[in-house]
């Protein structure tokens, strides 16, 4: 395989409560906290989480601005992050039992057979779960 000219590095999201978001992505979605960087002069903290090292995997960058008092507007241009899973029904039940909000329960997508679900992180960002065994 040729070395690509470009590679996805990360998806950045601004979060209101960094500890709560790190807990959600690591404990509930199984990502590892890869690094956490403090920028006192800029009054912000960055946390990078993923399923492998940044050198070989795309990761999530959570940005916490220390002086942000009001929730962020999620905007209408943001879609979602997609994660491939197996046993989607069991995973959704486990997420819900741990307090995660599941606005779209697991089931076949419209106009297809792939089974999907959506879960929301603590800030309301949507994460699509796609059952890899039904991916078409």
Q: What is the pLDDT along the chain (136 residues), one digit of tens a residue?
A: 566 777 889 999 999 999 999 999 999 999 999 999 999 999 999 999 999 999 999 999 999 999 988 888 888 778 899 999 999 999 999 999 999 999 999 999 988 899 999 999 999 999 999 999 998 6
Active-site residue, 128 included:
yes
Task: Please give the Cα distance from 98 to 18 (Å, whole number).
Answer: 18
pTM for the structure as a whole? 0.85
- CATH 3.40.30.10, applies to 81-131: no
- From the candidates 54, 61, 96, 128, give the one annotated as an active-site residue: 128
- CATH 3.10.180.10 placement within the chain: 10-65, 81-131
Structure tokens at 33: 């906290």
- Do residues 22 and 30 lie in contact, with contact meaning Cβ atoms separated by under 8 Å? no
List the CATH code of the domain at 10-65.
Answer: 3.10.180.10
């Amino acid at each position: 395989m040729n070395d690509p000219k470009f590679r996805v590095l990360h998806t950045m999201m601004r979060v209101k409560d960094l500890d709560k978001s790190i807990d959600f992505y690591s404990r509930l979605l199984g990502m590892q906290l890869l690094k956490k960087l403090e920028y006192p002069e800029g009054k912000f903290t960055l946390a990078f989480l993923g399923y492998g090292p940044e050198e070989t995997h795309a990761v999530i960058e959570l940005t916490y601005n220390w002086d942000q008092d009001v929730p962020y507007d999620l905007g209408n241009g943001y879609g979602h992050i997609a994660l491939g899973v197996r046993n989607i029904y069991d995973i959704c039940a486990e997420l819900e039992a741990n307090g995660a909000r599941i606005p779209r329960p697991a089931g076949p997508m419209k106009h297809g057979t792939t089974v999907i679900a959506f879960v929301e992180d603590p800030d309301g960002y949507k994460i699509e779960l796609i059952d890899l065994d039904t991916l078409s």
